[in-house]
Structure 1
Amino acid sequence: IDRVELPPFRAAIAAGVPAIMSAHIVVPALDPTPELPVTLSKTVMTDLIRKTLGFQGIIVTDDLEMGALKNVGEAAAGLRAIQAGADYLLFRFDESAQLEGHRLITEAVHSGSVSTARLDESVRRVVDAKRRFGILDGRRDQSAPDLAANGRTALELARGATTLLRNRGVLPLRGRILAVSPTNADISFFEGQATLGSVVAAKRADAVSESLSLHPTASEIDRVVSASRAADVVVVGTTNLFAYPEQVDLVRALAKEKAVAVVALRGPYDILSVPEIAAYLCAYDSREPSLTATAEVLLGERKPAGSLPAVVPGIFSIGAGMRDFA
């Protein structure tokens, strides 16, 4: 964990990141308490984040209404998150849970199980953040955002991040291309209909796009493998293969037919599940700026520019990243 997972947090804190969101995941290596989510762990929220990593900004919880906390309850989870070290509680939908959380925290203050000094710490952090961003004195720019300029910035950031880690003669993609990716509905709540396949197909007349679910069925895999027989090369967008073994089956089935390039659309660790693949690119994201930047590299319109921000154990070290295709 110290070698793989924490370096991005250290770098972000050193760069002045104003907030960190906790995840409702259990990490026994950090807190051995059985089935205790990080959001409720003082060992992680206070001892690790505050004391060891030295973070002084706001810690905000992920949604307390998520299923990972259902055995605790939303309101009780809010109280326990405050006790663990959270500054800001996220309740997305349920007003009654918010009101019950407020009641429990108020009672905890009166009973002494949460000190006023502890709440004051969080209030100071929130006020400091509002002051930093001009919210308290009205300096915050309230004008409509320049969406076109923001889109250009997002694309430039994505171009700088897209990381090529392996290429055994597959990239740039040539000939007839089959571009396979998860359906947009499976990987995005609000970002429109772009997929890796649709973006590649929009750039190349000889490219065909195929979409399938995060848990592709045997019939879906057969359909895509059949489509690959008319292609010269295949690119597959993957999403956290460790959680979706059916995607591993898909990649391996395609690799029996054609040369395959894999694009990791979330974390950079998918190659651990398919270490035999010939080409591997990390997009880190499935939204349109990242998909566009990735397609540019896949098709040779731009050279890769990104560097790996974390270790991929046994394969790649921090900072890895090719600057050309050979």
Structure 2
Amino acid sequence: MPPATDELIQRLYENPPDGFVAARTAAINEARQSGDKDTAKRLAALKKPTVAAWVVNLLALRRPDLIAELVELSTALREAQRGLDGDSLRELTAQRRQVVSALVGAARRLALAAEPGAKLPLGEVEATLTAALAEPEIAAQVRTGRLIRAASYAGFGEVPRPRLRLVTDDTDIDDEPAEDEGEVVEFPQQSSRERAAAERRRREYEQRHRDLTRELSAAQAAERRADEQLARAEAAERDAGHLVEDLDAELAELERRRTEAQADVARRKQARRTAERETAAARRQVGDVQAALEDLEGDPPE
């Protein structure tokens, strides 16, 4: 795509979304009038961003250095997750919150400077930036500055739970000999009871583990189904939004043509009125000439 077109697209996604459709339509018409059908086609494929996506685009286009810091932190977080480094994860998670909060603040300032008094969905902006931390693909989309909707990610940043180990009291039994050999020693009986209790706890733990594993499998399956349903719903919403945008563009074109037609009607109405006046004047002249001719014929010379 030519640099001029890249700059045009950047301006479209930098400007507030309320004027996106009109600006895109004007750019398409200009490209068509100049005979650049390829550029017109590319511009027609652009989709109007939501307000949240516009705010993120503004941040990516005007402060790419901040987005680069976000990507670096994302890499560090993924490495800590792969290494199951709980301390690093906790530290990086705290840093993540600080970075995302700072980015949201910067994005807010940029958006209000571009459109003072605008109502900004900062929660969606924060969710998108958090998702960019979790998913390299989303981060790549954010860096383009051409998002059309906000993103979200719910499974990021969980600190891995420590492995559980069953601890019994067998090793804590006092093995010192009894002072009085005639005294009844209770240690063997206590050890048996404790071993039985430990075995019972072990069985309960294993049963609980099996139950939780089944619940986890069921929950993960439900999550996958919900994700698929969400993806379908988002796709349907996106398609419906695209249809609305296309209809908005068509309506704008029809409104332009309607305005031109109204102006043409006004011109033709004025022309009709002028013709009516000229016709009336011509008829009066015909009447005057006929009257003069009749008077002349009624009084012939002798």
Tell me the TM-score range normalised by the shorter chain. Answer: under 0.3
Q: Which structure shows the higher helix fraction?
A: 2
TM score, norm. by length of structure 1:
0.19
